[in-house]
Structures are given as C-alpha cells and as structure tokens.
C-alpha cells in the first residue's frame, strides 16, 4: 500500500447525519429514537444501530479485527450458496470494505473503488469540462452522495448542497447503482433534463426531507481560477474567483496575479463562494499572496501530537498591502475557510456573504496497488486565532443573502456589488 503523501482539506458536510443510510427502494421505515440500552445486543440490533446512526451501551468486540469471520463466511458461501456464478470475490471485498469504513460514521472517510478513485483523482486537478449538472458525487452506502456543488452550474442554481443524498435518478433507485453508473445517468446532452430525487439530511431545527428536482443539463466548464478588474468610479478593484483548490490551482492563480499586477489596483476582492476546499498546502500558498511572510495561516493537530504542524505564509507580497474583501457562502468549506479566516485575522480583510460550511477536519488518501484507495480523517485544523470551524463555520462581517431572482433577471450579483462597496469603505 502506498501513501500519496498529499494532505487534503476536503469538502465536508453540514449536518450530523453522517452515518445515515437510506434504503429508499426497500420501503423500510426509519426508526425513531436510539435502541434500548441493554446488555445483550443482537446482530440485527447492531445492524440497525449502525444503519441509522444510533448507539447502544453494549461492549465492543474489541479493537482486534477477527479475520476468521471473513474466512468462515467466504467458506460457507463457496460451499453452500446456490448461485455460485454470482460469487465475485473482488466486488464482494470492495463492498465489504466500503461498509467496514462507513461504520466509523465519518462523512469524510470512505473506501474508494477503482472507478471512484480515478474520478476523484481527476477532480483534484481542479479543471474539468463536461455536459451535465456540475456536481461531484460518490457512492455512500445505499445512495449517491453529493460531495461538491460547483458555483454557477445547474446543480448550484437548483439549490443542491453537499451531503444531499440522491436516492433516485429519473425514478430509478440508486441503491444498487455504482458511482460511475450514476455519473453516466446524470450526465447527458446539453438541453436535456434529468430528474433527481433528493434526501436532504436533517440540520439544526430542520428535519430531513425528500424532494424532486428537475435539472436542465448544459456544458459545464469548471476553471479553478478566473480574474477580472472591476471599477467603482475611478477606483480599480482586482477580482479573483477561486472555485476549487486543486493541484493546478496555484499555477492558474499565478497567471491571474501576473495579469492583475499590470493594473494600478486600489483594492482586492477574493471570491471563495462555492469553494469546497481540497488541498491544504495549496490553500496556504493561496493565502500567501495576501498574508505577510511568516504569519501563521493554519495550525494542524493530529492523533499523534509529534506530527502537529504550523503552516506559515510564504509571503509572496502580491496583495498584502491592498484593502481586501473576501466573498463566502454556505458552500465555502475547508481550505476555503482557512484562507478566509487567515485574511480576516491577519490582514483585517472584511468577509461578505453568508455563514460558511463549517469543516474543521483534515483528510489524506492512501492508494492500494489495485487502484482503489481510502480517504480518511487524520486531524483537525485551527485558524490563526485558534478556532476550529467544525459545524460552526465562519460568520461574515457583512451578512448578505444571494438574490437569485435578481441574478436571473439581469445577471446582477448583489453579493459582489456589496463587496465592491465594502472595498471603497476600506479605502475611505
């Protein structure tokens, strides 16, 4: 097994229903409260307890994994299972590993089969063009989970969110659907419609709900970085939009910085709306274009204390002296939150928009020789002031809800307009 040596701050989830499995097609009813706390817990109790995220007080079997259970089960099936041709040990092992890892109840930890790992690796590059809805998905137990919703795409405009569970695609259950099967069914020619049945897990004071949404596919281009020069009267404001913090993002950002440096800028707007994060070290590099050299951008803590680390700005000095506003929304997460917090805590940047996602953990990936991999949580991260944004998110200095109707009418981005106003206030 080879470790990729890549530390990742991957997009996370907003809700506490991390271990929920939806057996929508089977018609199972959702249990109510946790199982009774008794000394004896049956196998069915254990199954239901994991499946619905409930717990029992029964003692664990221990921390040592008993491989003989697998061997005994496999031997039994090889000897007595009626449809022997259905025994596919590779597929069965992948399935077992998925459920084994999922039992941790951590939405950021998952076993990735070959198809999922290939797709995930491509996504981490930070640039993609396709015809579809603009969302990253992954198999999650008996459903397809939305991992990422890209800004200004059909999925974004339809109001989909990370951790939404797709339980049907065009009225076909996703229970037995692989990630690649779901991708093939959701993508399609521009102008055609796909109908998704969504289960949105519960949030604070909001119960879970199931709803259908019709989404018109279109050509989706997801550049990780775009830039522009905006004007307010005689003032010039540099604008950088970073949608994904992937492998190629820093190189793309350097090109945008070079172009903007040709202008006599008065201020900067860094747009991190819809940015779900990804690579932690790339996030630190992005912050380094704004934060003075040597300043702490993020602190990480791991289960083994000796690996705790402080990431400091490399101090590129491009924009550190310019008044800066950072745009965020409810999809801004992980490394996106790291950047926003660092710019506010160190550069006194003003954050405009809505409360961010709230993801304070760190993941890494280990690849197996077979092409599969495991993505798992290894630690937590903290802002320069020592805060962990898990579930809390960052609260903007200036809260402005996005006006979707106004944007659809004449492409007016009311949050961006407010950000420009805040830059002018910083200049005065």
What CATH number does residue 246 fall under? 3.90.226.10
Structure tokens given for 136? 């990253």
Alpha-carbon torsion 131, 135, 138, 142, what sign?
negative
Q: Beta strand pairing status for 2-9 and 127-132?
A: unpaired
Q: Give the separation between CA 24 and CA 173, rounded to whole angstroms.
A: 8
Whether 17 maps to a domain, the answer reads no
Same-domain pairing of 205 and 228: no
Whether 22 maps to a domain, the answer reads no
Same-domain pairing of 319 and 200: no
174-209 confidence digits (pLDDT tens): 998 888 889 889 999 999 999 999 999 876 666 778
Q: Give the separation between CA 323 and CA 90, rounded to whole angstroms.
A: 56
Whether 357 maps to a domain, the answer reads yes
Same-domain pairing of 411 and 330: yes
Would you state the pLDDT for residue 40? 42
Same-domain pairing of 156 and 250: no
Domain that holds residue 313: 224-427
For residue 165, the domain's CATH number is 2.30.42.10
Yes or no: say if 382 and 299 are a contact pair by the CB < 8 Å rule: yes
Same-domain pairing of 280 and 192: no
Would you state the pLDDT for residue 48? 43
Which of 163, 189, 221 finishes a domain?
Answer: 221
Residues making up the chain, counted from first to last: 428
Whether 23 maps to a domain, the answer reads no
Same-domain pairing of 213 and 252: no
Whether 194 maps to a domain, the answer reads yes
Which candidate, 50, 137, 62, 428, places its Cα nearest to that of 266? 428
Which of 171, 192, 221 finishes a domain?
Answer: 221
Same-domain pairing of 155 and 238: no
Same-domain pairing of 290 and 406: yes
Same-domain pairing of 256 and 232: yes
5-32 confidence digits (pLDDT tens): 333 333 322 222 222 222 222 222 223 3
Whether 19 maps to a domain, the answer reads no
Same-domain pairing of 317 and 216: no
Torsion of CA 290, 294, 299, 303, to 10 degrees: 140
Whether 113 maps to a domain, the answer reads no
Which of 175, 190, 221 finishes a domain?
Answer: 221
Q: Is 62 left (phi over 0), alpha (psi -120 to 50) or beta?
A: left
Residue 126 vs residues 114, 175, 280: alpha-carbon distances, Å:
20, 29, 14
Which residues lie closer than 8 Å to 74 by C-beta, 6 or more apart?
89
Residues labelled catalytic:
334, 345, 359
The SS3 assignment for 157 reads helix
Which residues lie closer than 8 Å to 155 by C-beta, 6 or more apart?
133, 134, 135, 146, 149, 215
Whether 126 maps to a domain, the answer reads no
Would you state the pLDDT for residue 28? 25
Would you state the pLDDT for residue 414? 95
Count of structural domains, the chain:
3
Same-domain pairing of 355 and 408: yes
Yes or no: say if 277 and 359 are a contact pair by the CB < 8 Å rule: yes
Q: Give the separation between CA 394 and CA 358, rounded to whole angstroms.
A: 7
Tell me the average confidence (pLDDT) per consecutive run of 10 residues in the chain, 428 residues long: 38 26 24 34 40 42 71 91 92 88 88 84 66 86 86 88 91 89 91 95 73 94 87 95 89 95 96 89 96 97 88 96 96 93 97 94 88 92 92 93 84 94 95
Same-domain pairing of 272 and 410: yes
- Residue 174 burial (CB count, 10 A): 27
Would you state the pLDDT for residue 99? 87
Residue 209 vs residues 94, 164, 358: alpha-carbon distances, Å:
30, 10, 21
Q: Where are the beta strands (DSSP E) in 256-396?
A: 267-271, 278-279, 296-302, 309-312, 324-328, 350-353, 361-367, 373-382
């Amino acid at each position: 097994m080879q470790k990729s040596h890549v530390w990742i701050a991957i997009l996370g989830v907003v809700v506490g229903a991390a271990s929920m499995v939806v057996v929508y097609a089977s018609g199972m009813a959702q249990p109510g409260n946790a199982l009774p706390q008794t000394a004896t817990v049956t196998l069915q109790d254990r199954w239901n307890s994991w499946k619905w995220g409930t717990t029992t007080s029964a003692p664990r079997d221990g921390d040592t994994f008993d491989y003989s259970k697998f061997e005994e089960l496999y031997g039994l099936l090889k000897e007595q299972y009626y449809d022997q041709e259905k025994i596919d040990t590779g597929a069965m092992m992948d399935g077992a590993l998925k459920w084994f890892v999922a039992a941790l109840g951590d939405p950021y930890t998952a076993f990735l089969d070959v198809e999922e790992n290939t797709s995930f690796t491509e996504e981490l590059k930070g640039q993609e063009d396709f015809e579809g809805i603009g969302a990253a998905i992954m198999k999650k137990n008996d459903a397809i989970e939305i991992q990422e919703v890209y800004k200004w795409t059909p999925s974004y405009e339809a109001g989909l969110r990370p951790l939404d569970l797709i339980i049907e695609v065009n009225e076909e259950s996703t229970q037995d659907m692989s990630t690649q099967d779901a991708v093939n069914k959701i993508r399609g020619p521009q102008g055609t419609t796909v109908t998704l049945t969504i289960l949105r897990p519960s949030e604070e004071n909001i119960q879970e709900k199931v709803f259908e949404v019709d989404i018109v596919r279109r050509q989706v281009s997801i550049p990780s970085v775009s830039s522009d020069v905006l004007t307010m009267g005689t003032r010039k404001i540099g604008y950088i939009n970073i949608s994904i913090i992937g492998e190629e993002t820093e190189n793309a950002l350097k090109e945008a910085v070079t172009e903007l440096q040709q202008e006599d800028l008065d201020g900067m707007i860094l747009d991190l709306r819809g940015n779900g994060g990804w690579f932690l070290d790339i996030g630190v590099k992005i912050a380094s274009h704004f934060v003075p050299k040597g300043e702490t951008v993020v602190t990480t803590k791991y289960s083994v204390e000796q690996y705790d680390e402080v990431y400091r700005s490399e101090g590129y000095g491009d924009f550190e002296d310019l008044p800066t506003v950072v745009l965020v929304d409810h999809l801004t997460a992980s490394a996106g939150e790291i950047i926003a917090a660092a710019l506010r805590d160190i550069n006194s940047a003003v954050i405009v928009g809505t409360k961010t996602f709230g993801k304070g953990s760190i993941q890494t990936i280990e690849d197996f020789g077979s092409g599969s991999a495991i993505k798992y949580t290894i630690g937590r991260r903290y802002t320069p002031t020592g805060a962990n944004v898990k579930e809390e998110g960052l609260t903007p200095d200036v809260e402005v809800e996005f006006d979707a109707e106004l944007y659809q009418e004449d492409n007016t981005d009311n949050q961006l307009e407010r950000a420009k106003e805040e830059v002018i206030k910083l200049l005065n």
